[in-house]
A and B are shown apart, each in its own frame.
Chain A
């Protein structure tokens, strides 16, 4: 019972946290501050892509953890 409870608690934090990070990556498509000229501007699609890949990879790990639950 405790592992299940703990697992779903972690999932809730994970989903909420990743949603906030995806939103932040979407928001950062446009420059937020005036950076010095020598600082390169990253590709917004690439940044969003990294965020989604990280979330997806972590979700796969959660799925594997779910499969081990008694």
Chain B
């Protein structure tokens, strides 16, 4: 029974916070904040014949007061219910503290007349308060299901879904902040908000992630109507949000309220995906017990190594958003991604054609289309060549000549210099070959700016020094394969101890290099803090690999290195967006 009361209270509190955010968006859009110069009450501005601006500002303060009281009441209930699940109790206790911070910031905005300039923090704190109410609400409504041990495929699909839902929630939060920036009435105020002003980019990102979440929910939990329905609702809300962009900036303040609703829905979906029972076995795509031969299309697609490319494209995309030229247009991003995929895919296909003698001797690669005889090496080579030429043409026509040049160099570097020579001749193969994987940020950077700067070179260096720890971790695990295939990887020619030692050294160099972006003024303190934290975790993994050298440590380093690079570049984009 007490939980029912608490549930209703939190639900009302969340609705009040949502109302406060929506009214705040309206205040920003109409620039009504200045109509109430006093704080906390609006006595100076509010009189019988006050204009609509004063009433909007006063209404916002009343909504905030109501939301704060309900958040406080929720915290009192949570304090008196120690048996409450931590995921419900802790956010509820945190909500009024964040609310106080937010209200205090609101007071500063009014007193110091920082209308517009401090809106980002004001809204971000309000979104956090909302999260501290929505997450407990979902936790209380959905007890954690006792799921037995999941099968490999089911566990993988569930992990993927959970990860996607949290990424989508993050994108929804960024989208709301971006909408608030657009809602600022005057260009001066818009610039002063310091928000990610590329609303279209934020919307596209949220839309792509929400679509991916819906698709993954359908794949992994199609029997769970609630989950599928929530994922569909989220996608529909984001689609509705795109209509808000058609409104003039002054009216787009309403979009902030809708954005907060998207944020809430995404959070609820993330909690539900984590707590609702997962099916023990996910239905396989096909019922035949005998493995079916992959289609020709999927074979050609696999030649492009899509999994490898995804990380390369993340670094390309992030580089595009951190240049001094500001946020790029969506079309430029689209064509750069297309060109980047074609270039990396072409290089991958040529690599498959050249490496057939190596791939056939390695368990990891022996089932690829070329070594298994499903695609002739000549066909793979021609396919790779066509993709590479297309990449250069696409980038040349739609971006800049320099981006096309770097993409072409990247293909030659990887497909010829690395694959045909370095890989087969020296244990330095991965170190020098790392340059090929470091080119995508240069493509992204030059696609936006048309020239190369020191910051882009530092991005190149970071990935260059990241490559040895990443690939040597894999080589340590697969060293027998490499020995059988005759590839002089460091663990094969120098042993495990030497490889683990060099992993540690290269990791330290890479982590140190990440700080250089702040030194040269390309990044701010947000990035520096994120890089330091992510780097500290990287060094812990590298240290464990050096000291212990067991399989869990090595696999841990390999997996984290993938996540690390994606998060590091995301931190760069975030730093650029908010500073």
**When A and B form their complex, what is the total count of cross-chain residue pairs whose Cβ atoms lie within 8 Å?**
107
A-chain residues with CB within 8 Å of residue B425 when the two chains form the complex: 40, 42-43
Residue in contact with B505 in the complex, picked from A9, A10, A21, A39, CB distance below 8 Å: A21
Given the known interface contacts A39-B493, A42-B488, the answer about A10 and B512 at a Cβ–Cβ threshold of 8 Å is yes
A-chain residues with CB within 8 Å of residue B520 when the two chains form the complex: 3, 65, 68-69
Contact A33 B495 (CB under 8 A): yes
State whether the Cβ of B519 lies closer than 8 Å to any Cβ in chain A. Answer: yes
- The minimal Cβ–Cβ distance linking A22 to chain B, given in whole angstroms, is 11
Contact A33 B494 (CB under 8 A): yes
CA of A54 to CA of B519, assembled, Å: 21
Residue in contact with B508 in the complex, picked from A13, A38, A40, A47, CB distance below 8 Å: A13
State whether the Cβ of B553 lies closer than 8 Å to any Cβ in chain A. Answer: no
CA of A14 to CA of B461, assembled, Å: 12
CA of A57 to CA of B508, assembled, Å: 18
Residue in contact with A61 in the complex, picked from B428, B461, B484, CB distance below 8 Å: B461
Q: Which residues 2-46 in A have Cβ within 8 Å of B in the complex?
A: 3, 6-7, 9-10, 13-14, 17-18, 20-21, 24, 28, 31-33, 35-36, 38-43, 46
Contact B502 A21 (CB under 8 A): yes
CA of A43 to CA of B493, assembled, Å: 12
State whether the Cβ of B457 lies closer than 8 Å to any Cβ in chain A. Answer: yes
Chain A: interface residue total (CB-CB under 8 A): 36
A-chain residues with CB within 8 Å of residue B483 when the two chains form the complex: 35-36, 39
Contact A42 B498 (CB under 8 A): no
A-chain residues with CB within 8 Å of residue B431 when the two chains form the complex: 50, 54
| B484-518 interface bits toward A, Cβ cutoff 8 Å, 1 = contact, 0 = none | 10111000111100100110011011001101101
Given the known interface contacts A13-B509, A40-B425, A51-B428, the answer about A69 and B519 at a Cβ–Cβ threshold of 8 Å is yes
Chain B: interface residue total (CB-CB under 8 A): 35
Residue in contact with A40 in the complex, picked from B424, B512, B516, CB distance below 8 Å: B424
Contact A6 B509 (CB under 8 A): no
- The minimal Cβ–Cβ distance linking B324 to chain A, given in whole angstroms, is 13
- The minimal Cβ–Cβ distance linking A16 to chain B, given in whole angstroms, is 8
Q: Which residue of A has the minimal Cβ distance to B493?
A: A35
Contact A14 B509 (CB under 8 A): yes
CA of A68 to CA of B426, assembled, Å: 36
Residue in contact with A58 in the complex, picked from B426, B432, B461, CB distance below 8 Å: B461
Contact B432 A54 (CB under 8 A): yes
Q: Which residues 506-553 in B have Cβ within 8 Å of A in the complex?
A: 506, 508-509, 512-513, 515-516, 518-521
- The minimal Cβ–Cβ distance linking A59 to chain B, given in whole angstroms, is 11
State whether the Cβ of B417 lies closer than 8 Å to any Cβ in chain A. Answer: no
Contact B428 A50 (CB under 8 A): yes
State whether the Cβ of B167 lies closer than 8 Å to any Cβ in chain A. Answer: no
State whether the Cβ of B454 lies closer than 8 Å to any Cβ in chain A. Answer: yes
Contact A32 B493 (CB under 8 A): yes
CA of A32 to CA of B509, assembled, Å: 24
A-B contact list, 17 entries, CB within 8 Å? A3-B519, A6-B519, A10-B516, A10-B519, A13-B508, A21-B502, A24-B498, A32-B493, A32-B498, A36-B492, A39-B486, A39-B492, A40-B425, A41-B488, A42-B426, A42-B488, A68-B454
Q: What 20 additional pairs, Cβ within 8 angstroms, besides A24-B498, A40-B486?
A: A7-B519, A10-B512, A10-B516, A14-B509, A17-B508, A21-B505, A24-B501, A24-B505, A28-B498, A32-B493, A32-B494, A35-B493, A36-B484, A40-B424, A40-B425, A40-B488, A42-B493, A47-B427, A58-B461, A68-B454
